[in-house]
């Protein structure tokens, strides 16, 4: 295979040996896994629930990827790249799980839904304004998701239980990484402490939403799971105490007529994330490379 | 594949390994020698990624498990397995994913650990943990033995590295940086 430039090679037909890029026939992440829905489980609700958890990971992964090349040290670049990759993997499996129920592919779900059809919590939408917001949001997100996934490992849906069982190991690393940075900044200089405290204050209004029970979850007894807020608070309080930071006292961000991220009502930031995530796939819907 | 998610971590039995051999070589042996795309000195069997190989006549079903949810090498592994088995004469090869139980670094074999050390990568410490909530780690993790000089005077410099499965460390005695496979 001779080419004038290495880039020419990218345009070749690779037969079975596709590159990893949109439109090139990703391997189904659930290939060979039994995806039948257990008896007595509300299948549309299960699909909606998988979308919720998958969208949390997909949107947050994209936000973390936007940090690439902007982090203060190479070690933090590799850390955040790895966290984003783990979450993207979780998102792919969860979207694929939703898709096995309602007949859509993971690509259709990721690239061709509009904003009101996304079910992620609003915590994952805003762009981090500094490194303190990055590690503060990651601490809250990973602590909550780890507590949730520990429960979800016992789900009656074996696919969801398997995805959660795998995610628990990854989220443990994410939480430790974020917690260690929150302590380092909180227990660092006067400036780092002030900025860490300000970051937590900015993020805190989005925490309450994580613990609201959505009707989709109520429709899935022993399939859906919830993070126990006391468990999450215990971890956060330990980190804050070690860091010498105060637990913010900020009112929860209201929804619109009570509707929030899980209902498809998002913050202003969401449109910008989706524009970046989806524009290429939508401009070239049949593209392969 | 009804029981795929619930089945244990061991291969489905010696029958799977010693079944209809081709030219004296079983499908398990062929599949087990497939190198890992990211750690090519190790095989998929060394890493505990290859979970099961069953053969019936010309048909082989190989089952692999991802090390991490976002492991970008799953597709490469799947293709490598298919090509190797087809070259060995198995015409119909299927590669399947198994998600549960989730891969653990404890599944890396003794031979795999020796190969990691020889390649300058510290093998993982034990990953098994007791039941109950997962504890938060705020301090530095336990020191890993340097794969070059054997010193335990090492420190972790980063919890993540160039691939999902490794962390970065530094040895205070031989002064070399090295990678270690993370216990998960």
Taking chain B (184 residues) in runs of 10, the rounded mean pLDDT of each run is 39 41 77 92 96 91 92 86 93 92 95 96 86 86 91 93 90 96 92
User: Angle at which helices A74-102 and A43-65 pack, to 10 degrees?
Assistant: 160
pLDDT at residue A24 tops 70: no
Q: Collapsing DSSP states into helix, strand and coil, what is residue B96?
A: strand
Residue B103: per-residue pLDDT? 94
Residue B100: per-residue pLDDT? 93
Residues in A closer than 8 angstroms to B1, CB to CB, are 32-34
B82-116, pLDDT tens digit by residue? 999 999 999 999 999 999 999 999 999 999 999 99
CB atoms within 10 A of CB A61: 23
Rg (CA), chain A: 20
Note whether B156 and B163 are within 8 A (CB).
no
Q: How far is B152 from chain A (nearest CA, A)?
A: 22
Exposure string of A44-59, with b = 16+ CB inside 10 Å and e = fewer, is ebbbbbbbbbbbbbbb
pLDDT at residue A16 tops 60: no
| Nearest by Cα to A49 from A60, A64, A37 | A37
Distance CA A203, CA A253 (A): 10
Residues in B closer than 8 angstroms to A64, CB to CB, are none
CA distances to A169, A221, A260, B39, B111 from B144, in Å: 20, 44, 46, 19, 19
User: For chain B, how far is it from start to end, CA to CA, in angstroms?
Assistant: 26
Task: Write the DSSP symbol of residue B28.
Answer: H
What is the side-by-side strand order in the sheet with B50-56?
B50-56, B59-64, B92-97
Instruction: Give the DSSP per-residue string, A89-142.
Output: HHHHHHHHHHHHHHT--HHHHHHS--GGG----GGGSSPPSSHHHHHHHHHHHH
Provide the chain A residues 67-96 that lie in CB contact (below 8 A) with chain B: 75, 78-79, 81-83, 85-90, 92-93
pLDDT mean across residues, chain A: 91
Residues in A closer than 8 angstroms to B70, CB to CB, are 85-90, 92
CB atoms within 10 A of CB A261: 27
| Nearest by Cα to B50 from B90, B89, B10, B20 | B10
Residue A289: per-residue pLDDT? 57
Q: What is the pTM of this model?
A: 0.89
Residue B98: per-residue pLDDT? 93
Among candidates B69, B72, B79 on the partner chain, residue whose Cβ is nearest the Cβ of A16: B79
Q: Nearest 5°: CA angle at A257, between A253 and A259?
A: 65
Burial of A286 (0-12, 13-18, 19+ CB in 10 A): exposed
Of A7-11, A250-254, B51-55, where does mean pLDDT reach its minimum? A7-11
Residue A11: per-residue pLDDT? 46
Distance CA A268, CA A273 (A): 10
Q: How far is A175 from chain B (nearest CA, A)?
A: 8
Q: Nearest 5°: CA angle at B163, between A24 and A121?
A: 70
* Beta strands B121-122 and B92-97, pairing class: unpaired
- CA B101 to centroid of chain Cα atoms: 14
- Would you call B160 and A162 a contact, using CB atoms and an 8 Å cutoff? no
Residues in B closer than 8 angstroms to A33, CB to CB, are 1, 4-5, 96-99
pLDDT at residue A212 tops 70: yes
Note whether A123 and A208 are within 8 A (CB).
no
Chain A residue closest in CA terms to B62: A32
Chain A residue closest in CA terms to B138: A180
For A181-202, what is the mean pLDDT? 98
Among candidates A20, A33, A172 on the partner chain, residue whose Cβ is nearest the Cβ of B97: A33
- Would you call A34 and B98 a contact, using CB atoms and an 8 Å cutoff? no
- Would you call B160 and A173 a contact, using CB atoms and an 8 Å cutoff? yes
Burial of B129 (0-12, 13-18, 19+ CB in 10 A): exposed
pLDDT at residue A30 tops 80: yes
Dihedral sign, CA of A93, A95, A98, A102? negative
Instruction: Give the DSSP per-residue string, B148-167.
Output: TT--S-EEEEES--SSTTEE
């Amino acid at each position: 295979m001779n080419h004038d430039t290495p880039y020419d090679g990218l345009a070749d037909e690779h037969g079975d040996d596709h590159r990893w890029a949109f439109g090139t026939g990703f391997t189904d992440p659930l290939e060979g896994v039994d995806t039948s829905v257990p008896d007595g489980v509300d299948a549309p609700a299960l699909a909606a629930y998988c979308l919720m958890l998958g969208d949390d990971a997909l949107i947050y992964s994209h936000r973390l990827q936007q940090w690439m090349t902007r982090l203060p040290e190479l070690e933090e670049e590799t850390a955040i790249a790895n966290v984003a990759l783990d979450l993207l993997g979780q998102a792919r499996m969860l979207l694929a799980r939703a898709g096995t129920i309602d007949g859509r592919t993971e690509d259709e779900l990721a690239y061709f839904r509009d904003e009101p059809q996304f079910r992620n919590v609003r915590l994952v939408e805003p762009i981090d304004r500094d490194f303190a917001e990055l590690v503060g949001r990651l601490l809250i997100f990973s602590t909550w998701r780890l507590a949730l996934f520990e429960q979800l490992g016992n789900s009656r849906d074996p696919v969801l239980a398997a995805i959660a069982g795998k995610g628990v190991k990854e989220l443990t690393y994410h939480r430790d990484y974020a917690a260690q940075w929150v302590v380092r900044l909180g227990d660092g200089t006067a400036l780092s402490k002030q900025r860490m405290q300000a970051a937590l204050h900015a993020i805190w209004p989005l925490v309450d939403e994580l613990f609201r029970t959505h009707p989709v979850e109520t429709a899935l007894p022993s399939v859906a799971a919830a993070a126990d807020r006391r468990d999450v608070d215990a971890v956060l309080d330990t980190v804050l105490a070690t860091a010498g930071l105060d637990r913010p006292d900020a009112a929860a961000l209201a929804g619109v007529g009570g509707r929030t991220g899980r209902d498809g009502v998002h913050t202003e930031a969401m449109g910008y994330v989706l524009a970046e995530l989806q524009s290429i796939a939508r401009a070239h819907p049949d593209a392969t490379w | 594949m009804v029981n795929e998610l619930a089945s244990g971590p061991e291969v489905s039995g010696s029958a799977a390994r010693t079944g209809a051999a081709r030219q004296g070589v079983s499908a398990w042996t062929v599949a087990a020698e497939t190198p890992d795309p990211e750690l090519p000195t190790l095989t998929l069997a060394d890493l505990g990624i290859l979970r099961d190989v069953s053969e019936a006549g010309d048909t082989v079903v190989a089952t692999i498990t991802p090390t991490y949810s976002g492991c970008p090498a799953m597709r490469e592994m799947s293709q490598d397995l298919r090509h190797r088995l087809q070259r060995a004469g198995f015409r119909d090869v299927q590669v399947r994913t198994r998600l549960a139980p989730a891969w653990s670094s404890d599944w890396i074999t003794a031979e795999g650990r020796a190969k990691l050390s020889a390649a300058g990568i510290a093998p993982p410490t034990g990953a098994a943990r007791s039941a109950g909530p997962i504890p938060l780690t705020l301090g530095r993790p336990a020191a890993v033995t340097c794969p070059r000089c054997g010193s335990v005077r090492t420190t972790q410099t980063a919890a993540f590295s160039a691939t999902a499965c490794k962390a970065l460390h530094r040895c205070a005695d031989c002064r070399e940086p090295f990678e270690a496979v993370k216990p998960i």
